[in-house]
């Protein structure tokens, strides 16, 4: 085995391990709620996702990148801004802050761990290849340059693609389930019985 092949294999194994740890982190909130002895709340879940979207906007992410960071569709993120003036204002202020710290461009000067995580999440969720760079506010050329210069980044992107293919194959074969709906509790329902009602909520 050549030195280059051996190095590529080591990077691939390392990157697959990183993907596994990202999966574990995504399950962390559910485990913490279980420790508290309760299930997910619609209000808490929505606020958490809004906070992730605002954080992504501060980092200079595109609307699509903010949606990926929040774990919702871009349309749902748009609907939240239309329906919630406070959230819309927070997103506007976040983008203003991003522009102020990016020389007025509003896009990140380089990848950071946070923006790379969002980019990888988008790849794992099946975002079209041509649209992936824009998630992190990068041009196609800029991302290609990073991938050439940093073999670890290249390995992570390839690992994310493998994870996306496995997830897609699992759905097609019925071996796994992509969680597009979650069971949550309605907090402000018009009846005392409804306060503990559990419903299925679509995020996509």
pLDDT of residue 11: 92
pLDDT at 107: 60
- The pLDDT, as a whole number, for residue 3 is 60
Angle subtended at Cα 30 by Cα 29 and Cα 34, rounded to the nearest 5 degrees: 115
pLDDT value at 47 more than 80 = yes
Check if the beta carbon of residue 15 is closer than 8 Å to that of residue 152. Answer: yes
Which is more confident, 176 or 172? 172
16-25, 50-59, 102-111, 155-164, range with the lowest pLDDT: 102-111
Q: Which of 184, 185, 186, 179 is nearest to 204 (CA)?
A: 179
Are the beta carbons of 161 and 118 closer than 8 angstroms? no
Tens-place pLDDT, residues 84-140: 999 999 999 999 998 888 765 556 557 889 889 999 999 998 898 889 988 887 888
């Amino acid at each position: 085995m050549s030195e280059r092949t051996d190095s590529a294999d080591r990077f691939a194994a390392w990157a697959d391990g990183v993907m596994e740890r990202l999966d574990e982190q995504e399950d962390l909130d559910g485990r913490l709620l279980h420790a508290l002895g309760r299930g997910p709340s619609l209000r808490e879940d929505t606020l958490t996702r809004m906070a992730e979207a605002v954080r992504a906007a501060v980092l200079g992410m595109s609307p699509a990148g903010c949606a990926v960071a929040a774990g919702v569709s871009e349309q749902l993120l748009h609907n939240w801004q239309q329906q919630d003036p406070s959230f819309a204002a927070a997103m506007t202020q976040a983008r203003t802050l991003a522009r102020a710290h990016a020389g007025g461009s509003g896009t990140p000067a380089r990848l950071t761990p946070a923006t790379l995580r969002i980019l990888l999440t988008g790849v794992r969720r099946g975002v079209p290849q041509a649209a992936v760079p824009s998630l992190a506010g990068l041009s196609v050329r800029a991302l290609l340059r990073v991938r050439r210069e940093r073999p670890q980044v290249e390995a992570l992107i390839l690992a994310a693609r493998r994870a996306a293919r496995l997830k897609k194959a699992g759905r097609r074969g019925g071996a796994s389930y992509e969680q597009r709906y979650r069971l949550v509790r309605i907090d402000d329902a018009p009846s005392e019985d409804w306060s503990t009602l559990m419903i299925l909520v679509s995020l996509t």
